[in-house]
Amino acid sequence: MKNILVITTSIFGQNGQSSQLVEQTITNLKAQHPTAAVIYRDLSKQPVPHIDADRFGAFTTSANDRSDLENQVIAYSDELISEIVGADAIILGVPMYNFGIPSTLKAYFDHIARAGVTFRYTDQGPVGLLEDRPVFIMAARGGIYAGTGNDTQTPYLRTFLGFLGLKDVSFVYAEGLAMGDDKKDAALDKASSKIDALTA
């Protein structure tokens, strides 16, 4: 393993519970692969612009017809995609905000979903163009949602990542974090054990 891509999205930065679980995952992977480089992208500190008509237009305009501004949009998107392409493993820190993923992560996704680059449509349906690699998702939630209809994150993340070709996806859930210290401590211990098992 040469490169590990780390994407965090907590509004609390490195103090967020999802970010701390990410750090444990990095530590475990680095213990096995000490020479691996870690590429960080903190979407709370450096948010990706939300998609708008101009940015979407850049994605759908042929290279020869793009304006200078559209070329800048494409170069930015290419940079994000190149980080994924160069990673041997991806770690995502994903807190739950109002039943969904952070909007900063959705904006990031909107910039890496590029027809002809990360996916393509065929007569048999869409095909992901990214080479599969392990994706570890640290899901931190205040309540209990995994396995219920209120967990919108898990199916969405599996669907989106699979759409791009990333199917080796593992979830670590830390739930009930806002339901008292006992539940929080138990949830974090369980999540820590799961990380150890996944990265053994």
> Was domain 3-198 assigned CATH 3.40.50.360?
yes
The first and second tokens of residue 42, run together, are 């903190």
Largest CA distance in the chain: 60
Task: Give the pTM.
Answer: 0.95
pLDDT in tens, 76-90: 999 999 999 999 999
Q: Where are the domains of the chain?
A: 3-198
What is the C-alpha to C-alpha distance for residues 76 and 73, in angstroms, rounded to an integer? 5
pLDDT of residue 73: 96
Helix axes 68-85, 53-60, angle to 10 degrees: 70
Residues of the chain falling short of pLDDT 70: none
